[in-house]
A and B are shown apart, each in its own frame.
Chain A
Amino acid sequence: MSESCEITLTVNGVRHQVSVEPRRTLADVLRIDLGLTGTHVGCEHGICGACTVLMDDQPVRACLVFGVQADGSSIRTVEGLAANGELTDLQQAFSRHHALQCGFCTPGFLMLAEGYLAETPAPDRVAVREMVSANLCRCTGYQGIVDAIVDVAEQRFHERPI
């Protein structure tokens, strides 16, 4: 076993210092060391997107980043979305549009969409379809996921401060 390294991660605004083996992926650091099991792990080779989190505001595959590589960065996970028990507009839209069935893929889609909408405030439907093709959902057929994201994009666009 190789030596553990001390790393610092800011996760959902909270600073954590953890000692991890270099081979531990960011997904496993979040799940095992920090107990944040909202980030799911499916394939561990970048295909399914269940592990998608925001690293310094950019969507990344947490299974393809080692925790040690993420040292010093700021991470957002699905646990950071709802505040005081109140779901965010995006989460509510997922619920309203039946954008989930089993829910395994949902944390990944939420973080992917969260990162995307921050960068692209008024996407069209085609662009949203293209973007969600990054992640796999075995249940919904994507229609509801696209509907939810388009809905939130429009809502946020109309409510934006001018």
Chain B
Amino acid sequence: MKPASFEYHRATTVSEALTFVNELGEDAKFIAGGQSLVPMMNFRLARPTALIDIMHIPKLNSIYRDGDSLIVGALTRHRTLELTTDASVVEGFALLSSAARWIGHTPIRTRGTIGGSLVHADASAEWCMMARLFDAQMTLEGPRGRRTVSSGDWFQGMFSTAADFNELLVEIQFISPRRYGALAEFARRHGDFALAAVAVAFDVVDDRLCNVGIVIGGVEGIPVRASEAETLLEGASLGAVDVEGAARSAAAGVEPMESEPGEAAYRRHLVDTLTRRAIHDALATRVQ
């Protein structure tokens, strides 16, 4: 289908984008890569009266290291993150590059942005999971000035975040590097949004796991941490990691969505399987 009509405005600075949204009001929308918004407009699930194109704000397209943190501009393309593997930049965040490869397909990744993904807030989106896993801090600019929201407060429900309509997500700061990690997903077709996905990351000190993070995506309305399973693995010695126990605990802890009968049970089963797989794969990255 074809989208309904709208006005188009191109912003080249953050303040210009904020001025536009201030003038145009709640029925206007920012457009970044358009890879979620345009399909919704083509289906007429979204009918913004105006689009404010933010893709031409050069300063929001950046990746850099600041001490332990990795700072990513909101307009950084999925494809750029996929191709950023330089250890001096992504050390402790190597999983981001492999996670990017799960996002749709190359022609989607050349346009779609990390900021758009986080604001769209699909519960199975790879960036939403990575934000939870690496404790991202989202920086917004808006009429209230600049504020930062932690990933724990960012996701407020299905497709809903802490960002107000007139706030622009400018930067994402990943603050908890972890040496080892893996992402396991299941989707019916390659490149589709996952029916369930599990991401795991940890460090190893004195042959024991520490800073264990486990995130489950696509199962509840927002990506969730499997805190009991994390506790179970914390401090485990490498020779005796209770993978089965952690997987069982992760699966028991979720409250899966059900859009078709039987889907909740199936998703729970997937969480068990994918948690095992992700832990095994993360341990294997250590051996390499």
Residues of A within 8 A of B (CB): 1-3, 5, 21-23, 25, 28, 44-46, 49, 52, 58-61, 63-66, 68-69, 71, 112, 116, 131, 133-135
Which one of B5, B31, B39, B190 contacts A45 once the chains associate, using CB atoms below 8 Å?
Answer: B39
With A3-B7, A133-B191 in contact, is A116–B106 under 8 Å at CB? yes
Nearest B-chain residue to A20, judged by Cβ: B8
Residue pair A68, B8 in contact (C-beta under 8 Å): yes
Report Cα–Cα, A22/B29, bound state, in Å: 14
Which one of A3, A66, A116 contacts B38 once the chains associate, using CB atoms below 8 Å?
Answer: A66
Q: Please list the 5 inter-chain residue pairs (A to B) with the smallest Cβ-Cβ separation, ordered nearest first.
A: A134-B105, A22-B8, A45-B39, A58-B110, A59-B107
Contacts of B51 in A (CB 8 A): 22, 66
Is B240 an interface residue when CB atoms closer than 8 A count as contact? no
B1-40 CB contacts (< 8 Å) to partner A: 1-8, 10, 31, 34-35, 38-39
Nearest B-chain residue to A116, judged by Cβ: B106
Contacts of B43 in A (CB 8 A): 45
Residue pair B6, A23 in contact (C-beta under 8 Å): yes
Contacts of B35 in A (CB 8 A): 46, 61, 64
Report Cα–Cα, A2/B5, bound state, in Å: 6
Which one of B2, B8, B38, B190 contacts A64 once the chains associate, using CB atoms below 8 Å?
Answer: B38
B53-108 CB contacts (< 8 Å) to partner A: 53, 55, 79, 104-108
Is B208 an interface residue when CB atoms closer than 8 A count as contact? no
Contacts of A2 in B (CB 8 A): 5-8
Report Cα–Cα, A1/B2, bound state, in Å: 13
Shortest Cβ distance from B164 into chain A, in angstroms? 24
Residue pair A65, B111 in contact (C-beta under 8 Å): yes
Shortest Cβ distance from A43 into chain B, in angstroms? 9
Report Cα–Cα, A22/B41, bound state, in Å: 12
Can you give 16 contacting A-B residue pairs, CB < 8 Å?
Answer: A2-B7, A5-B8, A22-B5, A23-B5, A25-B38, A45-B43, A46-B104, A59-B106, A59-B110, A61-B35, A61-B107, A61-B111, A64-B42, A68-B53, A69-B53, A134-B106
Contacts of A68 in B (CB 8 A): 8, 10, 53
Which of B6, B8, B53, B190 has the most chain A CB atoms inside 10 A of its CB? B8
Which one of A5, A59, A69, A112 contacts B55 once the chains associate, using CB atoms below 8 Å?
Answer: A69
Shortest Cβ distance from A138 into chain B, in angstroms? 14
Report Cα–Cα, A131/B106, bound state, in Å: 7
Contacts of B111 in A (CB 8 A): 58, 60-61, 64-65
Contacts of A23 in B (CB 8 A): 2-6, 41
Residue pair A66, B8 in contact (C-beta under 8 Å): yes
Which one of B1, B53, B110 contacts A60 once the chains associate, using CB atoms below 8 Å?
Answer: B110
Report Cα–Cα, A59/B77, bound state, in Å: 13
Contacts of B6 in A (CB 8 A): 2, 22-23
Nearest A-chain residue to B4, judged by Cβ: A23
Nearest B-chain residue to A112, judged by Cβ: B107
Report Cα–Cα, A134/B106, bound state, in Å: 7
Shortest Cβ distance from A62 into chain B, in angstroms? 9
Contacts of A5 in B (CB 8 A): 8
Contacts of A45 in B (CB 8 A): 39, 42-43
Nearest B-chain residue to A7, judged by Cβ: B8
Against A, the Cβ 8 Å flags (1 = close, 0 = not) of B204-244 are: 00000000000000000000000000000000000000000
Contacts of A44 in B (CB 8 A): 1-2, 39, 42
With A59-B106, A60-B107, A61-B108 in contact, is A66–B34 under 8 Å at CB? yes
